[in-house]
A = this chain, B = another copy of it.
Amino acid sequence: MVDGNLGLGLYIGPHCMQMAIDKAKKYGVGFVACRNSTHYGIAGYYATMATDQGCIGFTGTNARPSIAPTFGVEPMMGTNPLVFGLPSTDDFPFVIDCATSVNQRGKIEKYAREGVDTPAGAVIDDQGIERTDTEGILRDMVLGKCALTPVGGAGDKMGGYKGFGWAATVELLCTALQSGPWGEDICGVDRATGKPKPMPLGHFFLAIDIEKICPLDTFKKNTGEFLKALRESKKAPTGPGRIWTAGEPENDARISRTSQGGMKVVAPLQKNMIDLRNSRPGLKEKYPKLPFE
């Protein structure tokens, strides 16, 4: 159990995952729970730390409440990703990093930018209506009048109770061992004053050292062959004509962006980074010239 002392999640997370990996290297499998952390960034990064070191990785985090239970309307659980990583002979590891809700808010903002409706069943409002009006949803989410639904959607017809069960599992793995807060207590806002307040998050990290069970190369080969078979299986004539396995779209993006000389850092963010570097002791020596300077 690691206490993050409300420090930077991006620092706490790697420390915990490395602890889990070190334990796995010694005992075969390692598990680390963490409390009083903050947003730990890309969950799949931790799974990749494990795969880079010959381990199976498993991690999750809770977050401010946004998912309503099946047959409920109140945001009670975070988007709570359930994340696994497995090494493979592919150029990239198998990493499934996704929320246990149908969408996160970011996806709905994307629908807004595209000017399209949100698919029915992905958002429910406090009247129990499956909302599709993207702009209205974004407004009502802020007011707590709209909640995201778990994977499987609203109700039980398409298995929404499955996503609900997994979202609750992640919330519990992130709070029950830690006696950590959840729901309204990590909404990030003091309801009386409207001011921001700390959001102590919990995470968990698990690593399994593959070599303790079978040769790593054998494991990678097995994984690679299965994933290749999935990608080469028969395509839906009604679909895009390609099957992507987990981690592949991210790898495609990495290749494409690297070939263009990296990602563009927009001007306001460049300014933020320069200001931060100049105002904090030690950073100017460490980063005398940022890539875009």
A69→B126 contact, CB < 8 A? no
The stretch that binds B, out of A165-173, A252-260, A275-283, is A165-173
Rounded to whole Å, the gap between the CB of A73 and the closest CB of chain B is 5
- A127 within 8 A of partner (CB): yes
Interface membership of chain A positions 35-70, coded 1 if the CB is closer than 8 angstroms to chain B and 0 otherwise: 000000000000000000000100000000000111
- A176 within 8 A of partner (CB): yes
Q: What is the count of identical protomers in the complex?
A: 2
Rounded to whole Å, the gap between the CB of A166 and the closest CB of chain B is 6
Interface membership of chain A positions 220-254, coded 1 if the CB is closer than 8 angstroms to chain B and 0 otherwise: 00110011011101111111111111100000000
B236→A71 contact, CB < 8 A? yes
Known A-B contacts A176-B86, A218-B179; the reply to A124 vs B236 at CB < 8 A is yes
Rounded to whole Å, the gap between the CB of A42 and the closest CB of chain B is 15
Chain B residues closer than 8 Å to A176, beta-carbon distance: 86, 219, 222-223, 226
Give the distance in Å from the alpha carbon of A204 to the alpha carbon of B70 in the complex.
28
A119→B230 contact, CB < 8 A? no
B233→A168 contact, CB < 8 A? no
Give the distance in Å from the alpha carbon of A183 to the alpha carbon of B227 in the complex.
12
Give the distance in Å from the alpha carbon of A94 to the alpha carbon of B166 in the complex.
11
Within 8 A of B (CB), among A95-140: 96, 98-100, 102-103, 119, 121-122, 124, 126-129
Give the distance in Å from the alpha carbon of A115 to the alpha carbon of B77 in the complex.
36
Give the distance in Å from the alpha carbon of A18 to the alpha carbon of B239 in the complex.
44
The stretch that binds B, out of A152-160, A190-198, A264-272, is A152-160
> What are 28 pairs between A and B in contact, CB < 8 Å?
A27-B27, A28-B31, A33-B213, A71-B242, A71-B243, A72-B235, A82-B166, A84-B169, A96-B165, A99-B162, A102-B159, A122-B158, A126-B234, A129-B238, A151-B151, A151-B158, A151-B162, A151-B163, A155-B239, A158-B158, A168-B230, A169-B246, A172-B223, A176-B219, A176-B222, A176-B226, A177-B213, A179-B222
* Given A102-B152, A155-B239, 8 new contacts (CB under 8 A): A68-B233, A73-B234, A76-B233, A96-B166, A100-B162, A119-B157, A119-B158, A128-B236
A residues sitting closer than 8 Å to B (CB atoms) are: 1, 27-31, 33, 56, 68-74, 76-77, 82, 84, 86, 94, 96, 98-100, 102-103, 119, 121-122, 124, 126-129, 151-155, 157-159, 161-166, 168-169, 171-173, 175-179, 182-183, 206, 208, 210, 213-214, 218-219, 222-223, 226-227, 229-231, 233-246
